[in-house]
Homo-oligomer: A and B are copies of this chain.
């Protein structure tokens, strides 16, 4: 996720010190590995894409003299997240002027191939992983302070003097993750394809598991609650780092926005800070995250601590309802759902509210909070009725959204997940939506995740596996080492941000195949 929104008005942060303390006490242990590049590669344009057009062993270019204008590109063989160290030497006379080098990092070859100067997209170009360094002392070791997410790393020698050539004597990356692979159970009796789908999912998850569950190690490197929800679900089936999930819950509850609203995302550096972006669906997902956490851990203390925060999100959402219990639509960036162009959010938001109220009721009952359970049940009845009265188009057999009664996959999928209707109707909705060629499509892996979840809700496990294979599997066939933030098999070079070089190619919300495979025993 990346916000391109307005900020909420008169934003301020409400800090719960005790929650923050608990969150800090849950800071994770990190696991490291030292990796070296496997290949040196040439990256070129072939058709619509940038690809590796030549590949040789990495050590063939180590110690090779690099004059002004020369460059080398290394391929680390797989996606890496970590800290890079480069040993630099020289050939010729003692270096009599500083070397000046540019280093580009790319999760995919396109990030190496395209020029940063050509990026004019909607989000900060500061995300593009391109650095410039003067090297005053040669030989020396250049240790890059920033963490990078990459497979490809290009070093361009912008300046040396005529008297010497620069050499690269060594390159290593010290990887970092808070995922412990020893906690992952080996898969039994699955196809090679499922094993591959699972392993890329694990890799994606591990790369995003850092000090918090990050949305993407390249971008935004921060805790978004929409990503967190899916990461935590996958984590419970894989790495079992429940403490990290707890940490993230306490951070969101400890760093709230005005009126006790859970923010859409938060920063842990340089200071703990909730962002000023509020999203209707994202705030509600706190309920879902808490319910999932409690379900997988039985940690009642946390449930008791965070219940008020969860309940408050329902209350705040209810303020947006009209007299009939319908979520009021608006034009600004108030609810996310998906990146689809022109997607109306009303029906999806209504569905997510229903879904969240149902989860809140489970928690209220677990806590024997009868008063709130009662209120939630009343509210559920009202919003469900409003959904059917106002958003259900009986003739079409589809949910519609907004003043223009828009049909979208997002609306149908969330209404199915919210189980507004029974299984039989839900299956018919899916059929009807498939038949409606004007339905606003799904565009992100995040939305595809919910599509698969909707299939599974309706007991369609084979269709679910097929969908995973057709989407995430296609990504693998297209060369993904980790699952991409954005992927449209029909339009592979799409970006909502104006350029695909700013896209994240290892993204938490895309990493859920392992969750489906393991939780539902897909083979």
**A447 adjacent to chain B (CB < 8 Å):** no
Q: A275–B93 contact, CB under 8 A?
A: yes
Partner pick for A93 among B98, B125, B276, CB 8 A cutoff: B276
Which B residues are in CB contact (< 8 Å) with A139?
270
Contacts of A14 in B (CB 8 A): none
- Asked if A393 is an interface residue, CB under 8 A from chain B, the answer is no
B7 near A93: Cβ-Cβ < 8 Å = yes
Q: Mark A137-175 against chain B: 1 for CB-CB distance below 8 A, else 0.
A: 111100000100000000000111111000000000000
Residues of B within 8 Å of A270, CB to CB, are 137-140
**SS of A interface (majority):** loop
A126 contacts the other chain (CB 8 A): yes
A3 touches B163 (CB 8 A): yes
Copies of this protein, total: 2
Q: Taking the nearest CB of chain B, how far is it from the CB of A507, in angstroms? A: 16
- Chain B residues, CB < 8 A from A132: 131-132
Q: Which residues of B contact A162 (CB under 8 A)?
A: 4, 122, 124
**Alpha-carbon separation in the docked complex, A135 to B134 (Å):** 17
A123 beta carbon closer than 8 Å to chain B: yes
Give the number of residues in A that approach B within 8 Å (Cβ atoms). Answer: 45
**Contact flags (1/0) for A105-149 with B, using CB distance below 8 Å?**
000000000000000001111110001101111111000001000
Task: Write the chain B residue with the least CB distance to A132.
Answer: B132
- Inter-chain CA distance A161–B126, complex, in Å, is 8
Contacts of A126 in B (CB 8 A): 97-100, 134-135, 159-161
Contacts of A122 in B (CB 8 A): 162
A295 within 8 A of B: no
Q: State the CA gap A161–B3 with chains docked (Å).
A: 10
Q: A264 to chain B: closest CB distance in Å?
A: 11
Chain B residues near A277: list those with CB within 8 A.
93
Contact yes or no, B275 A96, CB < 8 A: yes
A94 within 8 A of B: yes
Residue A474 lies at the interface, judged by CB distance under 8 Å to chain B: no
Q: How far is the CA of A275 from the CA of B163 in the complex (A)?
A: 11
Interface residues of A in 262-315 (CB under 8 A from B): 267, 269-270, 273, 275-277
CB distance from A222 to the nearest CB of B (A): 8
Q: Are A124 and B94 in contact (CB under 8 A)?
A: no
Nearest Cβ on chain B to A410's Cβ, whole angstroms: 24
A488 proximal to B (CB < 8 A): no
Cβ-based interface call for A220 (8 A): yes
Q: Does A34 contact B (CB under 8 A)?
A: no
Contact B159 A124 (CB under 8 A): yes
Can you list 25 A-B contacts with CB-CB less than 8 angstroms, sorted by A residue number?
A2-B97, A3-B96, A7-B92, A7-B163, A93-B276, A94-B267, A94-B275, A96-B275, A97-B126, A97-B127, A97-B220, A99-B124, A100-B125, A122-B162, A124-B160, A124-B162, A125-B158, A126-B161, A131-B134, A132-B132, A134-B146, A136-B146, A136-B221, A136-B269, A139-B270
Which 5 pairs show the lowest CB-CB distances between chains A and B? A97-B124, A124-B161, A98-B126, A137-B270, A132-B132
